[in-house]
Amino acid sequence: MWWDCEGKGCTATGKGTRPTDGLCWQCHDRTEAELIEHATADLLAERDAAYAAQAERAKAAAQWNAMLADAYAEHAGREAAKSAEVRARRAAEAEEVRRLREQLVREHPELAAYAQQTEPQAAVTLF
């Protein structure tokens, strides 16, 4: 039994049982190779998309880390400024206390014993 190949542009004739796809072995191999090429191209495109997405996530993570580092640095700077301000204020207060004690001793020598205390005494309460 003779049959003609149904492949595009193919004029081959076969003898025997007709294949289910109606193609000669050359057209069948060519069609199979094209399917493999398309599947491979699809897989490569998926891989490239996955790599691009991974690179985008890595870039976003790096940007996020940089933003966090900037925020931590800014916070540390604010804390250092606040600490320096507190130290300066305490030094100014200590200087003011020293100046007031000296003035008190000059103006009221009888209170000199009380002006020499460096720390105020806490009130003692008994329950």
Locate the domains of the chain by residue range.
21-107
**CA 97 to CA 52: how far, in whole Å?**
67
Q: What integer pLDDT is reported at residue 115 of this predicted model? A: 64
Q: What integer pLDDT is reported at residue 3 of this predicted model? A: 87
Residue ranges for the chain with pLDDT beneath 70: 115-127
Q: Can you give the pTM of this predicted structure?
A: 0.49
C-alpha dihedral, 55 to 60 to 64 to 67, nearest 10°: 110
**CA 50 to CA 56: how far, in whole Å?**
10
Q: How many CB atoms lie within 10 A of CB 113?
A: 9
Q: What integer pLDDT is reported at residue 60 of this predicted model? A: 98
Q: What integer pLDDT is reported at residue 119 of this predicted model? A: 54
Q: Contact 14/5 with Cβ under 8 angstroms? A: yes
Q: What integer pLDDT is reported at residue 108 of this predicted model? A: 85
Alpha helix stretches (DSSP H) within the chain:
25-107, 112-115
Q: What integer pLDDT is reported at residue 79 of this predicted model? A: 97
